[in-house]
Structure 1
């Protein structure tokens, strides 16, 4: 690694006792560390030239399973051991106690979880998410899942969720991210499961052949293919409409529509839009509470420049003597100062972690050290 500079400038020049250093990690990736002794802040910023053809960003689910947790550094090492040239990583979306992420997620082009609205107890609509297409174009928006099942009769029915516990009277799809078996459901529900084996993909349409059908619970999910599960009214309906050997079509769409989405990961809330501080404009954006927004906490965030050529990953340490953390308003201001045009808050608090070349470079706030989290974002060459 090559030390590029130690400077005092711009926004930071008005604050005394600030150590600022930038280190080139590899071609196209720079690590910037800011230690503000007077305001007790420790900030790590990774700047990535995402338009370099050999650099990309991937979302990784803990242990490649919906309902599990894993340290960000462990996800880094696991992908590195699998042959990926991993450069850095940060923790990503908010998650349930079992590790299921709150928002939609796509990893390496495969759906990990898809819901119409985020499973957030605070936001009535849906949380903002970061999307990356196959050309490494970056987007931040409130993506809403819309799935359709085309029956052998040609009739289209809505797919309500992918890899998430269903509501009554719903149609769900499960792939290997769900685990070995379909989730447990209330005993009084009528449930029918169909085994779908993939035949081909045409654009956004997946074509399957039905190779099995059962009303048994906790049915095995194939490594290749999916389980189509319907319950109660939809269960009785699809039990009549689908037979073993039938061809089924499935269409995944997200609104706003993007082609060839390879990465999708949630956060909460949007902090910067068109270079403007969204928390200043609306402190309760996406349902954030005063306690979450206005108190200082460790923070993790991601954003990109106006030309979408530079991707930024940011952590701010907190809840410790060396670093007090930031409010969301301060975090958004930091993003704007660094050149972020669109910025998204990720899960913070004890989850806040940045890993570079296999080493945790920030100081996680939990007394036990780095926390197990639901998913992470990796920078890969």
Structure 2
């Protein structure tokens, strides 16, 4: 692993670059969730200290996905050590110009490296029947179907309450089209009001949910195995999630009938959850927004049309964090560009794409930036966070660790 600090007077820009050779078996790449829970925020440096306290050996960490500033919930899919923290078909973002899946970075169970706009592809099989999985620890607005709740979600499934809606604003201000602090933002847009209305409808549907508890049985290849817990069927949400199990929650006539037949029949339940096309089973994944380099070309210039970013987010200069891969996918670069300083003004997405290509990137994606940008190397944050209070507590991070001996 190497760390380099580069000064470019053209901006001016100060870049911090950590490079890892993925062929070096001394290192492993993973993801970290704040406080090891689906909700909550934590500084990258605190995550590193927490990993070290339990005997792990972090070397480099970078902040990752955009997140809800109130709850800390990230917008994209996340998988940690093969376990799903969040799974969604469409990225859970209030700022998109149009609904879409944002760019994500993942490593599969065989060590393959992936970057793309991944959607959750999931299915539940029981008694010769099969139903699609619509979310993991996340119920998509305006959608009925099956949702799997794991211990990452908390102690109980979603209840029929509007409390969750009130915590959905504000999102991370650096992800917003204005980039303003929450108290300085204009009134909610029509799209934001529609999103809240959709969430209200989703939560109202929860009172009709039928849920069943599944005990963990193990894994067979890429298939997760569970067993129906007798007498666990419940209506209306708020089901206790067992430490070694999950809760399968159904809304809509077809999904509810499927779960009720499963509860009566009992037995083994098989769950498959993959990303990508062709599908792969992730060992880790984290999200960002948007892709800025694809096959050696700068696509940051087209982010507004490709992934629904806003001009005041994409064209303005902000502190930036990014992940990049070399052409042969053997070199992983974790990059932070300082911003909002006279000696480093930050970059637009187009400028970020150019800078990463100059560093050797063939594929690259933008991560949460602004005050969230933090690159931790060997015990300290090496960049200069732009918040007046210093390093910001964030939702998740990517970590490079030395393997345990």
TM-score range, shorter chain: 0.7 to 0.9
- Give how far 1:356 is off: 0.8
The alpha carbon displacement at 1:114 in A equals 0.6
- 2:104 counterpart of 1:129: yes
- Once residues 136 and 356 of structure 1 are traced to their aligned partners in structure 2, the CA distance between those partners, rounded to angstroms, is 23
- Report if aligned partners of 2:210, 2:236 keep a CA contact under 8 Å in 1: yes
Structure 1 equivalent of residue 76 of structure 2: 103
2:380 aligned partner:
359
Residue aligning to 1:285 = 306
> Could you tell me which of 226, 235, 239 is aligned with 1:215?
235
**Would the aligned equivalents of 1:51 and 1:136 in 2 still touch at CA under 8 Å?**
no
Matched residue, 1:6: none
1:324 counterpart SS class: coil
Deviations 1:211-263 (A, max 9, x none): 13223642211111111111352564135312263321111122223544211
Equivalent residues of 1:171, 1:231 under 8 A apart: yes
Give matches, 1:1-381, under 5 Å: 29-36=1-8, 39-97=11-69, 98-121=71-94, 122=96, 123-152=98-127, 154-167=128-141, 169-185=144-160, 186=203, 189-211=207-229, 212-215=232-235, 217-234=237-254, 236-238=256-258, 240-243=260-263, 245-280=266-301, 284-381=305-402
Q: CA deviation at 1:40?
A: 2.9
CA contact 2:208–2:236 (8 Å) conserved in 1: no
Q: Which runs of 5+ in 1 are unaligned?
A: 1-28
Distance in 2 of aligned mates of 1:163 and 1:80: 28
Could you say which structure has the higher helix fraction?
A: 2
- More divergent stretch after superposition (212-221 vs 124-133): 212-221
Task: Please state how far the C-alpha of 1:135 moved relative to its aligned partner.
Answer: 4.5
- Quote the Cα distance in structure 2 between the aligned partners of 1:325 and 1:365: 10
Query: Which segment drifts farther, 168-177 or 349-358?
Result: 168-177
For the pair shown, which has the larger CA radius of gyration, 1 or 2?
1
The alpha carbon displacement at 1:371 in A equals 0.9
Query: In angstroms, what is the RMSD of aligned CA positions?
Result: 1.9
Cα gap change, 1:213/1:59 in structure 2, threshold over 3 Å: closer, same or farther?
same
TM-superposed CA distance for 1:37, in Å, is 5.1
Distance change (3 Å), C-alpha of 1:371 and 1:198: same
State whether residues 294 and 328 of structure 1, in contact with CA within 8 Å, keep that contact through their aligned partners in structure 2. yes
Shift in alpha-carbon separation, 1:159–1:47, aligned structure 2, 3 A? same
TM-score normalised by length of structure 2? 0.82
Distance in 2 between the 1:239 and 1:33 partners?
55
Residue 177 of structure 1: how far off its partner (Å): 0.8
> Are the aligned partners of 1:61 and 1:375 in contact in 2 as well (CA < 8 Å)?
yes
Q: In 2, are the aligned partners of 1:303 and 1:344 still within 8 Å (CA)?
A: yes
Shift of 1:117: 1.1
Q: As a proportion of its length, which structure holds more strand?
A: 1
**Is residue 120–residue 127 contact of structure 1 (8 Å, CA) maintained in 2?**
no
Q: What is the TM-score when the length of structure 1 is the normalising length? A: 0.87
User: How far, CA to CA, are the matches of 2:112 and 2:259 in structure 1?
Assistant: 42
The one-character-per-residue Cα deviations of 1:276-323 (angstroms, maximum 9, x if unpaired) are 111235653311111111110000000110111110000001112231
State whether residues 88 and 357 of structure 1, in contact with CA within 8 Å, keep that contact through their aligned partners in structure 2: yes
1:38 to 1:114, Cα distance in 2 relative to 1, 3 A: closer
2:73 partner SS: coil
Give the distance between the partners of 1:203 and 1:256, measured in 2 at CA: 19
Q: Which has the higher contact order (CA 8 A, sep 6+)?
A: 2
The alpha carbon displacement at 1:38 in A equals 6.3
Partners of 1:355 and 1:361 within 8 A in 2? yes
CA distance in 1, matches of 2:16, 2:234: 52
Asked if the contact 1:181/1:221 (under 8 Å) is kept, the reply is: yes
**Structure 2 unmatched runs, 5+:** 161-202
